Structure 1
Amino acid sequence: MRDWGRLPGDAIEDLRRLEWEHTGRLRERLLGRRPFPIPCLLKPPTGNQALEDLDHFHGYIAAWRKWPWPHQVTWVTKRFRQLGQFEVPVRLEIESTQALIAALGDEAVERSRGWAERMEPLLSLDKALFTTLINRLEELDRLSMTDIHLLASVLPQLQRGMGRRRYLRALPLQKVDTKFVELNQSLITALLDVIHGQEVSVHGGLEAWLECRVTPSNWLHVKPLCPEVKGRLAGLDLVRLCFEQLTTYSLPASNVLVIENLQAGYGLPELPDTIAVFGGGANTAWLQAEWLKDRRVGYWGDIDTWGLKFLADARLRQPHVEAVMMDLKTLLTHVERGVDEDRLAGLPAYGLTPAERSLFDELRFGRHGVGRLEQERLSQDYVEQGLAEWIQASAAV
């Protein structure tokens, strides 16, 4: 590769890579936090280099003489042995954002026009939004002009307390759909913070500032496992409850069986005075619920490092949680159905019994030829027997 005599195309490619496509640097240029000019060294040749490739030497000089903005190019007089004296370009300086865009060509010009077009309706609301809009150029690029007009329409409508304990999706907006607000909540929050002096963030975010009800999240399935518990649950076979409801609503059974995976929950047999909560995966936070302290709680998950980690997490919330079918016996009974575990969890510092810690190590080091046994791979008769034994142990206490 020739390391001298950089051509206009080389300089433009560097400007594109180092300035235009470097989001942080571009943002600083646009906000005036990174000063102009942008220097580009053109690496004029030594005498020997010029002699070795005269075509490139003359082409390099000719190319920069055709540069559309001559004032940006610094030339110096150099005397080359055997070639004589030449004016050679040594440095290109881009003096402004407009000059950078012009040098980069049509694509950059079009993109900058798009920014101007998108910003205009928003800046008409408040000129102070400029800095925030520049800081969120990627989001601005993704919005259509229809979305921009929706954004300009919704910002003046959103006022502190207007939610009146409704969900965000039920806001009383004019000519704006509430899904748009939900999908663009981060950008809307940033812009409203400028308009309202950081009020939105101080209040804990958009929904809190609007005084909306918290949108339910972290849904789990709840299934009564006997007719009596089903009757206490209004006769429902299966319901979905969110994190907030599970932490406050006391489920109507003495035994609570927590199942890691969704499909395993559908295969549960009838169990007396028992209700199952399943499909939460890593979500064990709901187990902090106070009402669980006086219930018998069983946990059944995959026999792998992550399943044992989730078991430990559950015990950090409720120390009396009992593991169900998460032992060496279960693993060895079904070992031919095991697989490798691609990504291992770290050994929890707390929450596992000595036997469970030993099992964790055996899985981690593949001592039985497998690292993972999914709970769905257990034989159904084994599952039913294991759950029956758990219930019988409860009755014996």
Structure 2
Amino acid sequence: MTMLSVAEARAKARKRLTSSMAEWAAEAVAEVRVEIALHPPTEKQALTDQAAAADWAASWRAVEAKAVGTPASGLEIEWEERNWARVGRQRVPIRLRLTTPDEVAAFAGGDTARDWRRLRDRTAAIRQRFGEVGGRRVGDAGRDGDADRDGDAGRDGDESRDSDGETVGEALAAAVRSQAKRILGLSDASFATVIAVVDWLRTHRLGSLRPRQLPIRGVDSKWFESHRSLVIALLAGIGHADAVSVLDAEPRLRLRILDPALVSGAGSGEAAADSDTTAAPAPTGVLSDGLDDITAPISQLSGLPLAPKLVFVFENLESVLAMPAWPSAVAVHGSGYAVDQVTRLDWIAGARVLYWGDLDSHGFAILNRLRSRLPGVESVLMDEATLLAHADLWVPEPKPHTGTFAQLTGSEARTLDRLRTEGDVRLEQERIPWETALDRLRTAVGDATEGHLGEEERDRRERDRRGRDRGERDDGSTDTEGHLGEGSDDHR
């Protein structure tokens, strides 16, 4: 095995420090036991290149000499004498031992050591301000020649515990440990502000507020959103999790009402005409004629007095915006993996739902996600025929999804397999010509509308025709008021 150089040992120490500094700082660890095997040469290796072996041993003597000259050094090098037949008695270093976090950092050097000192000092400031965390040693009773190790070298057994059995200070330590990267990444000024905000909030319980309502001078909503997780974690760590409950903005969806008739009859209040005069008024004005493009919180959209027969859910917003008028239909922007939010719309339960997403692995993952919440959803333009008909428009998928999707139909699963077989390609929704897409959407709706949408549409047209005939017989005039679908056969 190759002799471990000082530089290689520093790299190992640096790796160990990076993985452990959050725990060491959070728990105020005073002692550790990190050992690094140095892999001294065999006699044969030493004979092969005696100068290299001598230089290697000298480099470790220099490290030891520097440590000996440093007060309270936590660096030790273990040496061992070897009696070799041809080289004679030789004293070789076999193991480096680092016994304090500061010594691990000092030996590792570089930016990692600087990060440790910053995290150590900031964590100490948090403990000093909000509560002491009992220090403990970390050590290891066993050995593994090539491994860097640490382990428990003792705890303070007299620390008091709360009703949940949690040692006093453990909650704060856990908060610091989970937020170590954020604490480390703050500027000095930002860190000081975080400490000041946590200190203020623990003595001023605010209840539920939006970020804009926080009455802390100099702390605006943008600042709080950037530092929110750290502030909330520290408050929880010092037992003040209820000091402030920040209200998040509710997710929003965008939809288009493709049939004006869905709006014109909504909230008219006709059903309340014969009701008791003390009844609550009907929700007039909830929707206005001409309103067809709405972006709002999901809870508000769910409460709209809509009863569509058909709901299109598209991954691409431009496809939603390009949709023409469509009888008893609504088009919803699915917003990628947020598509399951669509199922929170109460009025979608009685509708037929068609989903169209990108023809790629993530498109099928999103479809699978939606169908797990809405089993009856149908896909359109996500089949093998569509994929192969647009092979010239394929592009590589940057980061394909490698999972399996239990909710896909056989046809959809075969299309996904074909995507992967062709080299993880993708056919983005917006690359399919719009007229081609519309034709397929009409076909998809028509394929399953007998006795459903198509029959109702034919009945409505027949009623409209009879109404026009009556109007002509009564006054000789023609009813020129347009009905949805008439005069627009070019898109059916």
TM-score by length of 2: 0.63
Report the Cα distance in structure 2 between the residues aligned to 1:185 and 1:36, rounded to whole angstroms: 33
Superposed counterparts of 1:22-33, under 5 Å:
23=19, 25-30=20-25, 31=27
2:441 is the alignment partner of 1:365: no
For the 8 Å contact 1:292–1:318, the answer to whether it is kept is: no
For the 8 Å contact 1:102–1:108, the answer to whether it is kept is: no
Q: Secondary structure at the match of 2:349?
A: helix
Report the Cα distance in structure 1 between the residues aligned to 2:24 and 2:256, rounded to whole angstroms: 58
Consecutive unaligned residues in structure 1, runs of 5 or more:
201-208
Q: Quote the residue 1:37 is aligned against.
A: 33
**Residues 115/345 of structure 1: CA separation in 2 closer, same or farther (3 Å cut):** closer
Which letter maps to 1:280?
Answer: S
**Residues 275/125 of structure 1: CA separation in 2 closer, same or farther (3 Å cut):** same
Q: Quote the residue 2:435 is aligned against.
A: 381
2:37 is the alignment partner of 1:3: no
The CA deviation at 1:195 is 0.9
Q: Secondary structure at the match of 1:216?
A: coil
Superposed counterparts of 1:46-85, under 5 Å:
46-67=42-63, 68-70=66-68, 72-81=76-85, 83-85=87-89
Q: Quote the residue 2:119 is aligned against.
A: 115
**Residues 115/383 of structure 1: CA separation in 2 closer, same or farther (3 Å cut):** closer
2:218 is the alignment partner of 1:175: yes
Which letter maps to 1:223?
Answer: R
For the 8 Å contact 1:153–1:176, the answer to whether it is kept is: no
Report the Cα distance in structure 2 between the residues aligned to 1:137 and 1:55, rounded to whole angstroms: 45
2:159 is the alignment partner of 1:162: no
For the 8 Å contact 2:29–2:101, the answer to whether it is kept is: no
Q: Quote the residue 1:125 is aligned against.
A: 129
2:20 is the alignment partner of 1:20: no
Q: Quote the residue 1:269 is aligned against.
A: 324
Report the Cα distance in structure 1 between the residues aligned to 2:90 and 2:58, rounded to whole angstroms: 12
The CA deviation at 1:134 is 4.3
Per-residue Cα deviation, 1:54-97 (whole angstroms, up to 9, x for no partner): 32343234333333113723344444445554544343322212
Aligned residues: 376
Superposed counterparts of 1:1-397, under 5 Å:
3-4=2-3, 6-17=4-15, 19-21=16-18, 23=19, 25-30=20-25, 31=27, 36-67=32-63, 68-70=66-68, 72-81=76-85, 83-105=87-109, 107-127=111-131, 128=169, 129-130=172-173, 132-158=175-201, 162-164=206-208, 166-196=209-239, 199=241, 210-217=244-251, 219-229=252-262, 233-234=287-288, 235-251=290-306, 253=308, 255-282=310-337, 283-302=339-358, 307=363, 310-311=366-367, 313-319=369-375, 321=377, 323=379, 334-335=389-390, 339=394, 342=397, 343=400, 348-350=405-407, 352=409, 357-358=410-411, 360-362=413-415, 364-365=417-418, 373-387=427-441, 390=445, 394-397=453-456
Per-residue Cα deviation, 1:205-235 (whole angstroms, up to 9, x for no partner): xxxx734434222x32212324455666434
Which letter maps to 2:67?
Answer: W
TM-score by length of 1: 0.75
Q: Secondary structure at the match of 1:240?
A: strand
Kindly report the root-mean-square deviation, in angstroms, between the aligned alpha carbons of the 2 structures: 4.0
For the 8 Å contact 1:221–1:241, the answer to whether it is kept is: yes
**Residues 15/109 of structure 1: CA separation in 2 closer, same or farther (3 Å cut):** closer
Report the Cα distance in structure 2 between the residues aligned to 1:134 and 1:328, rounded to whole angstroms: 49
Q: Quote the residue 1:203 is aligned against.
A: none
The CA deviation at 1:254 is 5.1
**Residues 177/91 of structure 1: CA separation in 2 closer, same or farther (3 Å cut):** same
**Residues 73/387 of structure 1: CA separation in 2 closer, same or farther (3 Å cut):** closer
**Residues 359/43 of structure 1: CA separation in 2 closer, same or farther (3 Å cut):** closer
Q: Secondary structure at the match of 1:36?
A: coil
Report the Cα distance in structure 1 between the residues aligned to 2:229 and 2:77, rounded to whole angstroms: 43
**Residues 35/268 of structure 1: CA separation in 2 closer, same or farther (3 Å cut):** same
Per-residue Cα deviation, 1:321-346 (whole angstroms, up to 9, x for no partner): 455555677667x4455637744676
Q: Secondary structure at the match of 1:58?
A: helix
Q: Secondary structure at the match of 1:184?
A: helix
Q: Quote the residue 1:204 is aligned against.
A: none
Report the Cα distance in structure 2 between the residues aligned to 1:367 and 1:178, rounded to whole angstroms: 45
